[in-house]
A = this chain, B = another copy of it.
Amino acid sequence: MIEYRNLRVALLGAGSVGSQTARLLLDHADELALRVGARLELAGIAVRNLDAKRDADLPAELYTTDAAALIDGADIVVELMGGIEPARSYIIQALTSGADVITANKALLAEHGDELFDIADQVGAQLYYEASVAAAIPILRPLRDSLAGDRINRVMGIVNGSTNYILDRMDRFGDSAEDAARVALELGFLEADPTLDVEGYDAAQKVTILANLAFHTSVPVEQVYREGITEVTADQVNAAREAGYAIKLLAIAERLPDPETGVESVSARVYPALISRDHPLATVHEGKNAVFVEAEAAGSLMFYGAGAGGVETASAVLGDVVSAARRHLAGGPGVALKARADLPVVPVGAIETRYQFTLEVSDEPGVLARVASVLATHGVSVETVVQSASVVTNGVRTATLVIGTHSAQESALSATVKKLAALSVVTAVKSVLRIEGIS
C-alpha cells in the first residue's frame, strides 16, 4: 500500500457538470491517485442553497455555502458555477492563494480572461479551461501544446450543440425551424431561454477562446461578428441539401495575411454557412461538436465528440484536474504563456468569403445581364448560376436565380446584395448565405 500525500480539491457549483465531476473524483479515487501520485481529496462542494434538490447522490457533509473558506484550504479549485460573479472573485481568491484553478466558464473567460490569466501569471498559478469549449473534446490542449511548433491559420468549429441539433433535424428530417426547436427543447438540447444559443452568443464566446489560443491574440467578444440561426429557413436547408451542402452554424477564427504589407490580422466570426457535404464538418450530427483546424505544417485536423452533457464535460474537467495536480506536485512555474502576438482584429467587412444568393427575378429579357452587371461593378466574380424554370405568382412571371460567387471581400459582397435587392427586375432576395470550407 503506497502512502500518498493529499491534494485538496474544492468544487464550486453542483449543477450537472459539478455533480458529475464530484462523482468521478470519488468513484475513481484510487485510479486517480495512481496516475497523479497523490490522492485527490474532494474537500467540499460550495453551493448557494444547502436545501436544493440534487440529482447526484453525494455525501451531504460535502456541501457548504461558505465558498471562501473552502477555497482557502484548497490546492485545486474547480469553478463550475457559471456566470460572471461571484465566479470571477472566487477564481481570483483561489489563484492569489496559490491554488491552481480549473474552470468551464466560457462567458467569464470571454469577458475577463485577460485579467485572470494575468493574475495567474503573476502568482505562478495555473488556470485550466479545456471544458469551456466543445466540452469533452480535447481541443484547447492540442492547440496550445501539440501545435505549438506549427502556425495555425484557421480554426473552424461547430461548437454549439443546440443549434447543430436544430439544423441537423431540419437537414435530415425536413423539420421546420419551429418543429426542430421544439424537439430540441423537449430532449434537453435547448435551454428554456434559447437566446444565447440560437443568436450565436455562446459560439461567439467560444471563438474568442479559440482565437486566443490559436493566434495568441485577445479578441473582445464584442468584436466577434455574429449571426445566429434564427433566419435560417427550411427552404434554405432543403435547397442547400439539393445543391450538395449542409447549413451549419460555424465559429471561425482565422489568421489573415496581408501579402502587401506583411502585417497579419485576425478575424473571429460566427454565422450559419453552407458547407460541402464532402467536408468532415458536414457529417457532424445531432448535438455533437467538432473543430476543424488548418495549420501550416500539420495540414487539416479535426477533433470530434460530445459538445455538452454533464458527465462528458466532467471528463474534460477531470483531465485538467489531473494536469493541475501533477504540476502542483512537480512545482515549478508550469506552462506560462506570456508570448502574445496580439494581432489586430479586423471587422467582418475586411474578410474574403464566398456568397450564395437566391434571387426571385421577373422573367423578362435582359435580367441576367442586369444582375451580372451589378456583380461586375463590385468586382464579384460568379462561379455558378442556376436559373430555374419560371412560374406565375400573383399574375407575375418570375424565375429563381441561384448565384454562387468566387471568393471576394465581404464588404463588396454585402454591397452587391443591397444593389441587387434594389433592382426593379429583382422581386425578392430569398436567401443570402456564405459558403465555407473550400479554400
Contact = CB atoms under 8 A, between A and B. Distances in A.
Interface of A: 20, 24, 28, 31-32, 34-35, 37, 130, 136-138, 141-142, 145-151, 280, 283, 295-306, 309, 311-312, 314-323, 326, 330-339, 341
Given A138-B142, A302-B302, A322 B148 contact: yes
A436 to B, nearest CB: 18
9 contacts: A138-B138, A146-B316, A147-B319, A149-B315, A149-B322, A297-B312, A298-B306, A301-B306, A330-B332
B149 A28 contact: yes
Please state the number of chain copies in the assembly. 2
A312 B298 contact: yes
Taking each of A35, A296, A334, which has the highest tally of chain B beta carbons within 10 Å of its own beta carbon?
A35
Contacts of A32: 149
A318 to B, nearest CB: 2
Given A37-B336, A145-B323, A298-B305, 9 more contacts: A35-B148, A141-B141, A141-B146, A145-B319, A150-B315, A280-B283, A298-B315, A301-B304, A331-B332
Shortest 6 CB-CB distances between A and B: which pairs?
Answer: A149-B318, A138-B146, A34-B339, A297-B315, A298-B315, A148-B322
Contacts of A302: 302-305
B149 A317 contact: yes
A130 B148 CA distance: 13
A357 to B, nearest CB: 30
Contacts of A320: 149
Contact of A322 (B145, B318, B334, B341): B145
A297 B20 CA distance: 9
Contacts of A303: 301-304
